[in-house]
Structure 1
Amino acid sequence: MIVTEIVPVDKRRSKVILDDDFTLVLYRGELKRYFIEEGSEITEEVYGEIVKEILYKRARERVLFLLKSSDKTEQELRRKLKEGFYPQEVIDYAIHFLKEHRFINDQEYAKRYVEFNSRKKSERQIEYELKRKGLDKEIIGDILKEQPVDEAAIVRDYIRKKRLNPEQMDAREKSKVMASLGRKGFSYEAVSRVLGEIFVED
């Protein structure tokens, strides 16, 4: 592996770009320790030592730090490590470590997410957000069956907080409310049921 370029990230760290499209982020002291400079060669042995002795530990500490602030899915953690220029083998190691010690479990994460958000978000919005976080569609569907979202109750709460009175609203006002809630993912049926009237477009 030949070092094609060394690009400073900040005052202490630099990106080490290798000729086979690998990129490592190392501290200045580590560059000196392994005699890494532009044009130099990193042997497989040295690369293996950097991965096992430095990057494994650093990636492990990074994901544990990320989990301190809030729960995250496997995909979110993989993305964070990739953004930090960790090699794929290091990312896989860190995720395996978390799973082995039960620090992450996407299914349990999804259950907690649905439980926390089912009183304020629509089922469609919850499903969309969990998919973005890397959750499998079938897992999301099963959890939503176990913990269904009462969209009508959320719509009632929305109307109460907005101090709206459906009985005093004309068709235009109701349509505006329906459009607003529709953009939040609430079903037409749930909204119209709460408003007490189903509007059919001509």
Structure 2
Amino acid sequence: MKILKVARNKLYLESNLEEQEIVDVSPEIISEMDLNRKKELSREEYRRVIYLASLAKSIFLLSRRDYSRKEMLGKLRMKFREYGIVEEVVEKLVDRGYINDLDYARALIERSRESRRKLEYQLSMKGIGREVIAEAFGEADHDERDELRKQLKKVAKREKDKQIAYLMRKGFRYEDIREVMREIEE
């Protein structure tokens, strides 16, 4: 890999196939790898730069919010071409406990105001497995009926059909909505 230039936190590279790549690198990586003085990177040096850059990027992302394993892989794959290195970095973060799908699922369940069905769907879209979702719901204090009552109070002044439509968009089942509405009316 030929180094075209190092400017601020960007490393401009060109491969033998004349493909250009721009890699975000921190000042620490630039000094550790002595990138300002080099004209070329060996394959091992290139892999090391990508590893350090993807590790730094993932730690930065995790400092802002939690990510599931699948989400982090997706974020890093959009940024870096070396998928094997990206997977290695994510596995390291999982091993060290920085990424934990069960903790991620628990936190989402605790702070959410959605129905269990909708939460299960959201978690599965984030790459959380069924067993992990079931375990997170088993440990969480997520009372669907109680949540339905809270949501119903929020929209109490609306017409009944609009209340039902709102709650169904939140993922609650029609039968449960009607039952709770009857309880409240009595």
TM-score range, shorter chain: 0.7 to 0.9
Identify the residue that residue 167 of structure 2 maps to in structure 1: 181
Q: Percent identity?
A: 27
Name the SS for the 1:25 alignment partner: strand
Taking structure 1 as reference, are residues 138 and 11 closer, same or farther at Cα in structure 2, changes over 3 Å only?
closer
Name structure 2 gaps, 5 residues minimum.
Answer: none
Identify the residue that residue 192 of structure 1 maps to in structure 2: 178
Normalised by the length of structure 1, the TM-score is: 0.70
Deviation at 1:116, TM superposition (A): 2.3
Whose radius of gyration is greater, 1 or 2?
1
Which deviates more from structure 2 when the two are superposed, residues 64-73 or residues 84-93?
84-93
Identify the residue that residue 77 of structure 2 maps to in structure 1: 82
Name structure 1 gaps, 5 residues minimum.
Answer: 36-41, 166-172, 198-202
1:131 aligns with 2:112: no
Corresponding letter in the other structure for 1:114? I
Name the SS for the 2:23 alignment partner: strand
Tell me if structure 1 keeps the 8 A contact 2:101–2:132: no
1:63 aligns with 2:58: yes
Taking structure 1 as reference, are residues 131 and 31 closer, same or farther at Cα in structure 2, changes over 3 Å only?
farther
Deviation at 1:23, TM superposition (A): 5.9
Q: Structure 2: how far apart are the matches of 1:82 and 1:76?
A: 10
1:51 aligns with 2:47: yes
* Aligned positions of 1:14-25 closer than 5 A: 14=12, 16=14, 19=17, 25=23
Tell me if structure 2 keeps the 8 A contact 1:114–1:126: yes
Cα RMSD over matched residues?
A: 3.4
Normalised by the length of structure 2, the TM-score is: 0.75
Corresponding letter in the other structure for 2:122? E
Deviation at 1:93, TM superposition (A): 2.0
Q: Structure 1: how far apart are the matches of 2:136 and 2:44?
A: 42
Identify the residue that residue 143 of structure 1 maps to in structure 2: 136
Taking structure 1 as reference, are residues 191 and 92 closer, same or farther at Cα in structure 2, changes over 3 Å only?
same
Tell me if structure 2 keeps the 8 A contact 1:24–1:87: no
* Aligned positions of 1:157-176 closer than 5 A: 157-164=150-157, 173-176=159-162
1:156 to 145, 149, 161: 149
Q: Structure 1: how far apart are the matches of 2:65 and 2:136?
A: 21
